[in-house]
A and B are shown apart, each in its own frame.
Chain A
Amino acid sequence: MLKLILRRLVQMVLIMAVASLLLFAIFDTPEFKKRLAVQELGGFAVSALSEDSYQAWLSERGLDAPFYIRYANWIGSILQGDLGFSYEKNREVGPLLLDRLANTGILAFFVFALMIPLSLVLGVLAGMKEGSVQDRTISFISVFTTSIPEIATAILLTVVLSLGLGWLPAKSAMIRGFEFQQLILPVLTLVIYDFGYVARMTRASMAEVMTSQYIRTAILKGIPYRRVVMRHALRNALIAPFTLIVLQLNWLLSGVVVVEVFFEYDGFGKLLLEAALFPDVEVVQACTLVAVAVAVVSQIISDIGYTFLNPRIRFA
Chain B
Amino acid sequence: MSDQTPVLECRNLCISYYTRAGEIPAVVDFNLKLMPGEAHGIVGESGCGKSTVALAIMQYMGKNGAIVGGEILFEGRDMRTMSAEELRHIRGSKIAMVYQEPMASLNPSMLIGEQLAEVPIYHDGISQDEAMARAAEMLAKVRLPDPERILKAYPHQISGGQQQRVVIAMALLSNPRLLLLDEPTTALDVTVEAGIVDLINEISEELGTSMIYISHNLGLILETCDRLTVMYSGEAVEVGDIHDVFDEMRHPYTRGLFGSIPLPGADKNAQPLVAIPGQLPLPHERPKGCNFGPRCSFFRTGTCDAGRLKMRPVPGDDDHKVRCERFEDIDWDRDLPKGEAREPVPAGDVVLSVEEMTKHYTIDDGGLAFMSGPPRTVKANEKLTFTAREAETVAIVGESGCGKSTFAKVLMGLEDATDGKVMLGNVELGDLPVDKRDSETISKLQMVFQNPFDTLNPSHTIGSQIGRVIRKFGVARTDEEVEEIIYRLLDTVKLPRDFAKRKPRQLSGGQKQRVGIARAFAGNPSVVIADEPVSALDVSVQAAVTELLMDIQRENRTTMLFISHDLSVVRYLADRIVVMYLGQIMEQGTTEEIFAPPYHPYTEALLAAVPIADTRVEKRHIVLKGEIPSPANPPKGCPFSTRCAYMIAGVCDTDAPPLRTFESGHKILCHLEMAELEKMEPVIKAKAAQAAE
Contact = CB atoms under 8 A, between A and B. Distances in A.
Interface string B41-78: 00000000000000000101001000000000000000
Given A213-B101, A312-B108, 11 more contacts: A3-B368, A7-B367, A130-B63, A131-B63, A222-B123, A223-B88, A232-B110, A236-B109, A315-B154, A315-B156, A315-B157
A224 B157 CA distance: 27
A221 B110 contact: no
Nearest to B64: A131
A212 B88 contact: no
Given A223-B118, A224-B122, A213 B104 contact: yes
Interface of B: 58, 60, 63, 88-93, 96-97, 99, 101, 104-110, 118-119, 122-123, 154, 156-157, 167, 170, 366-368, 371
B353 to A, nearest CB: 41
Contact of A213 (B99, B122, B157): B99
22 contacts: A3-B366, A3-B371, A213-B99, A213-B104, A216-B99, A217-B97, A220-B91, A221-B119, A221-B170, A222-B91, A222-B93, A222-B119, A222-B122, A223-B88, A223-B119, A224-B122, A227-B118, A236-B107, A239-B109, A309-B109, A311-B109, A311-B156
What 10 pairs between A and B have smallest CB-CB spacing? Answer: A222-B92, A222-B91, A221-B92, A213-B104, A214-B107, A311-B154, A217-B105, A223-B122, A3-B367, A222-B88
Interface in A207-251: 212-214, 216-224, 227, 231-232, 235-236, 239
Given A222-B122, A312-B154, A7 B368 contact: yes
A6 interface: yes
B92 A311 contact: no
A35 to B, nearest CB: 42
Contact of A218 (B104, B107, B123): B107
Nearest to B107: A214
B368 A217 contact: no
Interface string A59-73: 000000000000000
For chain A, give the interface size range.
Answer: 20 to 34
A310 interface: yes
A205 to B, nearest CB: 13
Nearest to B114: A231
A10 interface: yes
B20 to A, nearest CB: 14
Contacts of B106: 214, 217
Interface centre among A214, A216, A316 (most CB of B within 10 A): A214
Contacts of A221: 91-92, 96, 118-119, 122, 170
Contacts of A239: 109
Contacts of A217: 97, 99, 105-107, 167, 170
B610 to A, nearest CB: 28
Interface in A62-91: none
A112 B347 CA distance: 75
Interface in A34-65: none
Nearest to A235: B109
Nearest to A11: B368
A239 B107 CA distance: 14
B157 to A, nearest CB: 6
A216 B156 CA distance: 18
Interface in A278-316: 309-312, 315-316
Interface centre among A10, A213, A220, A223 (most CB of B within 10 A): A220
A221 B60 CA distance: 12
Nearest to B157: A315
B58 A220 contact: yes
Contacts of B104: 212-214
A312 B103 CA distance: 12
Given A213-B99, A232-B110, A6 B91 contact: no
B91 A232 contact: no
A232 B92 contact: no
Nearest to A312: B156
A235 B110 contact: yes
Contacts of A131: 63
Contacts of B371: 3, 6
A6 B368 contact: yes
A144 B204 CA distance: 57
Contacts of A216: 60, 99, 105
A219 B367 contact: no
Contact of A236 (B58, B96, B108): B108
Given A7-B367, A7-B368, A315-B154, A220 B60 contact: yes
B156 A219 contact: no
Nearest to B119: A221
Contacts of B96: 220-221
Nearest to B87: A222
B60 A224 contact: no
Contacts of B109: 235-236, 239, 309-312
Contacts of B119: 221-223
A161 B371 CA distance: 58
A10 B118 contact: no
B88 A214 contact: no
